[in-house]
Structure 1
Amino acid sequence: MSEHLGRPWGSSTHTTPLQAPLAAWEVKVIDAVGGVIAFWGFKHNHGRIWALLYLRSSAMTAAELQGNLGLSKGAVSMLTRDLERMEIIERLIDPENGTRRYVANTELTAMISSMIQRREAGVIRQARTTLHEAEKDARKSGASPDVVDRIRRMRQLADVMEQALMVFLGTTHLDFRGFLESVRLAMRLRRGGAARD
């Protein structure tokens, strides 16, 4: 995943101020991403952390994430662990002083596919398993053939949904990187224009 992450450790002299206030446009972007992530069943702040790291395009410490996003130390610790496990961010260690910093995964298509697979595919598989067990239980309990057949059809629907999801995830070639880079450029130009006014 490393080739799809932000700048490698030590490749930039840029550091993010500990308590740097976010620009209004940054807040909008970060909260918008958080909202989408929350809609998918994750935590709002999962999306906010990733969005900040992606926008800043540099490694940030947990303390910097706390200061910029107004989160507690415990919340950042828990959220970054979750994001690391899902390969949405990666932790880097400064070999000189052991400082931990985080960078964003920028391979958006693969990341989104992974998130969808973790959530939607898991739900569908669970439904299929439950329906299969219910079908067996219904047969054993002497349910009418018509009822058993209806359960079987619902199980088959779950099979079709899972197959369709796997096909979608395997064939999608959407790449949102270019789109987001365009948004970032537009925001920079907009800020520059506002500064001149």
Structure 2
Amino acid sequence: MSTSAPASAKKNKTVPHPELDALAERIGEFIQYWGFKRIHGKIWAHLYLSEVPLDATTLVKRLRVSKALVSFSIHDLLEYNVIREVARGRGRTVLFEANPDLTGIILNVLKLRERKMLTRITAAADHLGATAEGSLREMKVSPKKLGDMRELMNSAETVLDFVIGSGAESRDLFDGLKMMMPSAAD
């Protein structure tokens, strides 16, 4: 029994496309800047730009990377809801597409990743603040600057909680910002 992908997923999977590769690479660099892996951006770019959903084997061939790397990366992208499973082909073939809700993706990443980071930073600053003042002086840490840093983290947490906790208002905020940006057509 064959486990090959449906014909729609087989199109253009092995033909090199340097222009597409270059764009996917730039998107990978951008995504890497924001703390994800370059491969995440490259996979997302291929899925987002594809006219049809793609399977992991097609991504392996297009990106010329290992099946394990694509598999782990797909798992990560699914966790953040950046991509989604849309169909199952013959055998164990699973087809994926990019989540078209970019605002939702951003809000989800803020909630799942950035919020946790801020919590860990705040906890570490609180832990340092609980250190005896003599120890802080020995470390040459300014209690005032540490207090300022903790206030900054509290403010950042408050703003982030507002953005990710506002539901529809968050989407309105992002959509409003997008509308304020000049378009390429202008």
Instruction: State the partner residue of 2:3.
Output: none
Report how many residues are paired: 168
Report the TM-score when normalising by structure 1: 0.70
Q: Which residue of 2 aligns with 1:161?
A: 156
Alpha-carbon offset, residue 157 of structure 1:
1.3
Give the ranges of 4+ consecutive aligned residues of structure 1 lying more than 6 Å apart after TM superposition: 175-178
Q: Which has the higher contact order (CA 8 A, sep 6+)?
A: 1
Deviation at 1:38, TM superposition (A): 0.3
Equivalent of residue 152 in structure 1, options 142, 147, 151: 147
Check 1:52–1:95 CA distance in 2 against 1; reply closer, same or farther (3 A cut): closer
Cα displacement string for residues 96-124 of structure 1 (whole angstroms, at most 9, x for unaligned residues)? 53422212111001112222444433322
Aligned AA for 1:43? K
Equivalent of 1:64, from 37, 58, 61?
58
Contact 2:9 2:55 in 1 (8 A): no
Q: Does the CA contact (< 8 Å) of 1:108 and 1:175 recur in 2?
A: no
SS of alignment partner, residue 137 of structure 1: coil
Partner residue in 2 for 1:191: none
Question: Aligned in 2, Cα 1:177/1:14: closer, same or farther, shift over 3 Å?
Answer: farther
Partner of 1:46: 40
Partner residue in 1 for 2:74: 80
Distance 2:7 2:161 in 1: 42
The 3-state SS of whatever aligns with 1:174 is helix
Structure 1 residues 142 and 60, CA gap change in structure 2 (3 angstroms): closer
Whether the 8 Å CA contact 1:61–1:101 is kept in 2: the answer is yes
Structure 2 CA distance for aligned equivalents of residues 75 and 142 of structure 1: 44
CA apart distance, 1:35: 1.4
Aligned equivalent of 2:100: 106
2:25 counterpart of 1:31:
yes
Q: 1:42 aligns to what SS in structure 2? A: coil
Query: What is the alpha-carbon distance in structure 2 between the residues aligned to residue 126 and residue 96 of structure 1?
Result: 44
Partner of residue 175, structure 2: 174
User: 2:176 & 2:24 partners in 1: Cα distance?
Assistant: 19
Write out per-residue CA displacement over residues 19-49 of structure 1, whole angstroms, 9 at most, x where no aligned residue.
132251x223312211111000110010110
Equivalents in 2 of 1:113, 1:44: separation in Å?
20
Using the aligned pairs only, state the percent identity. Answer: 25
- Aligned residue for 1:22? 17
SS where residue 173 of structure 1 aligns? helix
Could you list the runs of 5+ residues in structure 2 that have no partner in the other structure? Answer: 1-5
Q: Distance in 2 between matches of 1:176 and 1:59?
A: 30
